[in-house]
Amino acid sequence: MTSLRDIIIAAFKSLTRGKSFIRALLAFWISPNVIKECQESNDGSSSPRLLEDFLLEVEHLLSQPIEPAALLGFSGNLKKQFRQRLWSNRACMLPSYNYQLPNGSEQGRYLSVDVGGSTLRVALVELKGLEEGGYDGCSRIVRIDNFRIDVGVKALVGRAFFDWMAARILETLKSASEGGQNNKEEFNGSPQAPIPMGLAWSFPIEQTSLKGGLLQNMGKGFLAADGLLGQDLGEIVKQACSGHNLHVEVAAIINDSSAALLSESYRRPSTRFGLILGTGFNIAAYMPVTTIERPKFGVRPASWFEKASHVIVNTEMGMFGQGFLPMTRWDEQLKAAHPKPEFQPLEHFVAGLYIGELARLIMIDAIETTGLFGGVVPPSLVGPYTLETETLSILESDDSVNLENALAAFTSRHPSSQKPIVSDILALRTISKLVTRRSAALVAAALYGLWELKRETENEYLEPQETVKSTDMPFAQETRAELDLGRVVVGFNGSVIEQYPGYRTNCQIYIDALFKRSQEQLSQGGGLSREEALIELVPAKESSLLGAAVALACLERGKAN
């Protein structure tokens, strides 16, 4: 007898051959045995044929917009929006102060601090250099301490939070010196020789220099900005540490996507993008300075522009997509209930916070119209954002023949008067696969659009070189080197792309498909089909801490030069 596992494998194979995943899988669901199981377990309330029709509709609505031609068109629309907003929008496509990328020769030991939504991490990071350490050994965390930011810490008002933070930094440095991991005489620095610190800050700031930025509301339940709005973050941290006889200088402040780019570029010199995909979504890109509206740079010395051919740009990628996102009725429901429906439209389609909610809305539609889960919505899933993406990940990672683990996990998290059966879990798994597949495809489209825009703008910079004096094109050599990179790396971090079953693989498949489709269009249009550079997704482990250290090392190298 054919097992459920065999049927699922056959269904996936049918998908790779361009056939409907739903039809292959439901060929098993609507067999007499499964119909009998549905009738016996759910009192005949489930209608497998109607469920098949519903899931085929879900597949059509979520999959049609990510077919190769349509996805390439979507990527092109994103690229146009990227170009416009590099020049006109002050809320996204924000140039950082990081214009130097590491070359792999940087060495030293650095203090890195990562302030996230739930954890403060303090670390001593050692950079050995690629030549000495190789890819795996070029950097290491000598010491790391994690401090939970619980409700009580979040409730600390203003400077009280930074005082708590300074005490934790001192605690780590003192423990490191006692353990022989740091110099005992210099563990707290001095006013004349403060310890340089790299700070990965996961909250909004209006950055005014590489080492400074004006504090903004932090959200997420934090009260640390109360009474300190508009003050310089670097100075606030410095003063808090001074109160503990700890003398530091915040020499570099970076966000999480920039950290992913910097940390991986230290090990892989062709890294030009940093991707964050967990609860939220963002991309950092190394873009030509000439593509960005000058007022976006704020007040910077002329010497900065004399040195910077490219700069790391915080795209705020979630803000894009207005006007051409592939909306379904479930997306409309999610949008209608959102307090800021227009703020981050693309993020609603791809980020971990919304994957579970979209699957929940589709599941409830199926329950109400097909009798899925016995026609009863589990009480714990009635409210918004109650189906976690982590739960879907557990369901999809179950390889057991009868989905025992998935059934047990779902039942324990969402008990109901109607006990779910295998076909219920299979239906929800199918919904989640379609939702996450669309998410991965749209992330791929965003990366491909950025990659294309980077190359286009670099070529545009070089186009007038034959008629322009070389003194008017000071970065021609650097720009040609960027175009000659070949394979470009995206350093990634985040729970969805790192841990969700099959997500990274799907994203890479769609990136490759976009390259292939683009080449086909070039050939059909009479253009010269050529071997294009590839985009490779690579995990950037501990990117916040390593990225902060690399930013410090690049700063030191720049001063030395």
Average pLDDT, the chain: 89
pLDDT per residue over 260-290, tens digit each?
999 999 999 999 999 999 999 999 999 999 9
Under the banding of pLDDT at 50, 70 and 90, the label for residue 32 is very low
Residue in 218, 249, 237 with CA at minimum distance from that of residue 168: 237
Please enumerate in sequence order all residues whose Cβ is within 8 A of that of 196, keeping only pairs 6 or more positions apart, or say none: 110, 111, 248, 249, 251, 552
d(CA 133, CA 262): 17
Strand arrangement, sheet containing 310-314: 94-95, 310-314, 281-288, 271-277, 488-493, 535-539
Closest among 351, 384, 377, 352 to 363, alpha carbons compared: 377
Contact between 458 and 533 under an 8 Å Cβ cutoff? The reply is no
The DSSP secondary structure of 65-116, one letter per residue, reads GGSHHHHHHHHHHHHHHHHHHHHH-SSSSEE-S--PPP-S---EEEEEEEE-
Residue 372 has which token pair? 């899925």
Read off the pLDDT band of 10 (50, 70, 90). low
Host H or E run for residue 421: none
pLDDT value, residue 178: 82
Which of 527, 498, 532 shows the shortest CA–CA distance to 514?
Answer: 532
**Is residue 33 pLDDT above 50, yes or no?**
no
Angstrom distance (rounded) from CA 413 to CA 116: 27
Total Cβ atoms within 10 A of residue 34: 19
pLDDT of residue 12: 45
* pLDDT score of 188: 79
pLDDT in tens, 352-367: 999 999 999 999 999 9
How much is the pLDDT for 44? 45
Residue 1 contacts residue 31 (beta carbons within 8 Å):
no
Most confident of 44-48, 106-110, 431-435, 470-474: 431-435
Return the minimum-mean-pLDDT range out of 53-57, 137-141, 535-539. 137-141
pLDDT digits (tens, 9 = 90+) for 370-426: 999 999 999 999 999 999 999 999 999 998 889 999 999 999 999 999 999 999 999
d(CA 3, CA 54): 24
The one-character DSSP state at 243 is T
Q: Tell me the average pLDDT across 525-552.
A: 81
| Separation CA 76–CA 87 (nearest Å) | 17
Calculate mean pLDDT across residues 134-138: 77
- Burial label for 512, CB within 10 Å (0-12, 13-18, 19+), is middle
The residue with tokens 């949008």 is 335
Query: What are the tokens at 266?
Result: 């230290």
Q: Which residues contact 191 (CB under 8 A, 6 or more apart)?
A: 247
**Structure-token pair, residue 433:** 């696969």
Is 369 a residue whose pLDDT tops 80? yes
For the full predicted model, state whether its pTM sits above 0.85. yes
Q: Which of 31-35, 211-215, 473-477 has the lowest mean pLDDT?
A: 31-35
pLDDT digits (tens, 9 = 90+) for 493-517: 999 999 999 999 999 999 999 999 9
Amino acid letter, residue 7: I
Helix (H, G, I), strand (E, B) or coil at 27: helix
pLDDT at 24 over 70: no
Are the C-beta atoms of 515 and 472 separated by less than 8 Å?
no
User: pLDDT value at position 27?
Assistant: 56
Dist. CA 374–CA 91, nearest whole Å: 47
* Whole-number pLDDT of residue 472: 67
Q: Using a pLDDT cut of 70, give the percent of the chain over it.
A: 86
Query: Is the CB of residue 278 less than 8 Å from the CB of residue 224?
Result: no
SS3 of 175-194: HHHHCCCCCCCCCCCCCCCC
Exposure pattern of 269-307 as b/e (b: 16+ CB <10 Å)? Answer: eebbbbbbbbebbbbbbbbbbebbeeebbeeeeeeeeee
CA 239 to chain CA centroid, Å, is: 32
Q: What is the dihedral of CA 176, 178, 184, 187, to 10 degrees?
A: 40
- Region 190-204: mean pLDDT is 91
Helix (H) or strand (E) holding 227: none
What is the mean pLDDT of the segment spanning 116-121? 92
**Biggest alpha carbon–alpha carbon distance for the chain:** 82
CA distance 181 to 372: 58
The predicted model gives 130-153 an average pLDDT of 89
Give the per-residue pLDDT at 31.
Answer: 40
The domains of the chain are located at: 104-254+542-561
Percent of the chain topping pLDDT 90: 74
What is the reported pLDDT for 506?
98
Name the phi and psi angles at 371, rounded to 5: 85, 15
Tens of pLDDT, residue by residue over 145-172, are 999 999 999 999 999 999 999 999 999 9
- State how far the Cα of 538 lies from the Cα of 531, in Å rounded to an integer: 21
Segment 222-230 mean pLDDT: 95
Question: What pLDDT is stored for residue 179 in this prediction?
Answer: 72
Cβ neighbours of residue 204 closer than 8 Å, sequence gap 6 or more: 216, 217, 218, 219
Which of the residue ranges 43-57, 323-337, 403-417, 428-442 would you say has the lowest mean pLDDT? 43-57
Mind listing the pLDDT tens digit for each residue in 69-116? 999 999 999 999 999 999 988 889 999 999 999 999 999 999 999 999
- The residue with greater pLDDT, 39 or 417, is 417
CB 258 within 8 A of CB 284: yes
Judged by DSSP in three states, 25 sits in helix
Cα–Cα nearest to 114, from 3, 263, 9: 263
Among candidate residues 428, 64, 429, 104, the one with its CA nearest the CA of residue 266: 104
Question: How is residue 288 written in tokens?
Answer: 């030509």
What pairs with residue 198 in β-bridges?
112, 252
For residue 203, the model assigns a pLDDT of 87
Which of these, 166, 149, 37, lies nearest to 426 by C-alpha position?
37
Question: Which fold, 104-254+542-561?
Answer: Nucleotidyltransferase; domain 5 (3.30.420)
SS3 category, 455: helix
Who has greater pLDDT, 299 or 470? 299
User: Which of 65-69, 311-315, 401-405, 543-547 is predicted least confidently?
Assistant: 401-405
d(CA 62, CA 78): 19
How much is the pLDDT for 432? Answer: 98
Contact assessment for residue 223 and residue 235, using Cβ atoms and an 8 Å cutoff: no
